[in-house]
Amino acid sequence: MARRTAPVAKSAPPVPKPDDGSEFSVPLVKAVDPLVLALDVGSTASRGSLHDAHGVPVRGYRHKIPHAFTAKSDGTSIIDPDSVVEELGTIIDVVVGSRKELIGRLKGVAIDTFASSLVGVDANRKATTPCYTYADSRATPQLAGLREQVDEPELQQLTGARLHTSYLAPRFLWLRENEPDLVADTKRWVSLGEYFHIRLLGKARAGTAVAAWTGLLNRHTGDWSDRMLDLAQIDRTKLSLIARPNQPILEVPSGVVQRWPALRDARWFAPIADGLAQNIGSGGRDASTMVTSMSTSGAMRVLVHSVPQEIPYGLWCYRIDDSRSLLGGAVNDVGRALDWASRTFALPEDTGMPEIATQPYRPDLPLLLPYLTGERSTGWAGGAQAHALDITAATGPEALARGVMEGVVLSLGRVASQLKEVAGDVERLVSTGGVSQNVPGIQQLLADYLGRETVQATFKRSTLRGTAILAQEVLAPGVEPAEAPATRTFKPKEKHREHWDRLAERYEVAYRRLIAP
């Protein structure tokens, strides 16, 4: 099988472009070494794919296994960690298997997972708990108690994160109060990605970005914060050591190589958070680009090559390594809110959310605050619930669905306004994620509200790509990532300015009432 090895920076080959307009990929024979296997554990599926030195997916080497969180009305949001480990093993079987053509070419295995995951592990390296997800809001009472004890803005500047049910300080307190037997059986607390490494490799370290997403990291030093550990009532010996992106695991058990010979030369990189991966994979590698993620949840982010001294009230700032931080804000419900609206309202036949997004603007729409699983940025009201206002007997299902969609846009827009305070006017705004692909008209709504162009990233697996690119910074330094496809631009329409200004004013009043408690 013909191949090319990754060149040094001075002689780097031209960055490849897609073979055609339909798929961003390269055949194995044209892939530039080294290759990386990227794994992604998201809210709705586990995925894996092979990428070359430019971060281009290798055609025919990918697999996906759907899954779902177990959610209950009391705020429960969990997933079985062993099922995820099994999914990932199956994905590696399918993508890599015993394929001899990959031996000697595959140099890295990198993984991202949804952020703020937590699994308890016993002395035999087996799970003592389910995996608690970012959407689990049962720690709302503990969160309220913490907020009464501390100066929250001070902690935000220390960790880059507000106090919230998505982070681990209130979750650890909830576990002590509600699951003392599980806590007693647990010798170590890890993220879902770390648990995968423990089960497969027998060892694990927390990537800096994963540690940052716990809300327990000192963003200035890159180590666990003693202050936050005290508040969480957790000993640092119960947590993993922290690894920078350039500190992979080099030695792996022989059984791993026996099962997958193609991984004999691979370095295993510490897990990273999916938000960071999606940002990098969509082209947001510096402060010139703001990335809007619209998937099950959503976010707006800017990657900065610094550690900002001050963070606006509604944002988070996650340390990536010694010189980079990811600044932004997240909302729990984007795709989740649209799916709920599509299922709940009796929409006419042949009318789905894509059609709802392109309907004309209307002044009589109800106002909906789409906080189905709590609110993160910008008010950090973990126990917030969805609210609907201005519904009358004349309000139909299409108006309700469009109200949910415009509520999603407004919640993202709140994040964008605070990002501007720190990052200024970025050069471009890129939208990515399944919602942007499946409901493209929502990007026009976002462009109208923000008053600026948005570019649609047409590549669907940007998170996997970003995970691979971060690993390639270590494996193939100096090799530039290929430009991610982005073929459609949405220009703002000034005639809709009045609609959004009026709606934003109504939203602000309702929002303040919602988060006041």
Domain encompassing residue 61: 9-21+31-275
Total Cβ atoms within 10 A of residue 177 = 12
Same domain for 237 and 346? no
461 belongs to a structural domain = no
3 state DSSP class of 39 = strand
Please identify which residue in the block is written with the tokens 């006017």.
425
C-alpha to C-alpha distance for 246 and 251, rounded to whole angstroms: 15
Q: Dihedral sign, CA of 62, 112, 341, 493? A: negative
Q: Determine whether 240 is exposed, middle or buried from the number of CB atoms within 10 Å of its CB (0-12, 13-18, 19+).
A: buried
Same domain for 253 and 335? no
Q: Which helix (H) or strand (E) element contains residue 301? A: strand 298-304
Last residue of a domain, one of 252, 275, 298: 275
Same domain for 155 and 53? yes
Q: Determine whether 73 is exposed, middle or buried from the number of CB atoms within 10 Å of its CB (0-12, 13-18, 19+).
A: exposed
C-alpha to C-alpha distance for 259 and 173, rounded to whole angstroms: 40
Same domain for 123 and 247? yes
**What token pair was written down for 227?**
């202050």
Assess contact for 263 and 340: CB atoms under 8 A. Answer: no
326 belongs to a structural domain = no
pLDDT in tens, the chain (517 residues): 444 444 333 334 344 444 333 478 999 999 999 999 999 999 999 999 999 999 999 999 999 999 999 999 999 999 999 999 999 999 999 999 889 999 999 999 999 999 999 999 999 999 999 999 998 999 999 999 999 999 999 999 999 998 989 899 999 999 999 999 999 999 999 999 999 999 999 999 999 999 999 999 999 999 999 999 999 999 999 999 999 999 999 889 999 999 999 999 999 999 999 989 989 998 899 888 999 989 888 899 999 998 888 888 889 999 999 999 999 998 889 999 999 999 999 999 999 999 999 999 999 999 999 999 888 788 877 778 889 999 999 999 999 999 999 999 999 999 998 888 887 778 888 998 889 889 999 999 999 999 989 998 877 788 999 999 999 999 999 899 998 777 789 999 999 999 999 999 999 999 888 877 5
Q: What is the CATH number of the domain that holds 128?
A: 3.30.420.40
Residues 6+ apart with CB under 8 A from 186: 120, 121, 122, 128, 129, 238
C-alpha to C-alpha distance for 168 and 191, rounded to whole angstroms: 11
For the stretch 456-494, pLDDT in tens is: 887 778 899 999 999 999 999 989 999 877 778 999 999
pTM: 0.83
For the stretch 67-102, pLDDT in tens is: 999 999 999 999 999 999 999 999 999 999 889 999
How many distinct structural domains can be found in the chain?
A: 2
Query: Looking at residue 347, what is its pLDDT?
Result: 95
Rounded to whole angstroms, what are the CA distances from 32 to 2, 3, 107, 111? 10, 7, 12, 21
Query: Looking at residue 251, what is its pLDDT?
Result: 86
C-alpha to C-alpha distance for 463 and 115, rounded to whole angstroms: 13
Same domain for 367 and 235? no
| DSSP codes of every residue in 113-178 | E-SS-BEEE-TTS-BSSPEEPTT--TTHHHHHHHHHHS-HHHHHHHHS----TTSHHHHHHHHHHH
507 belongs to a structural domain = yes
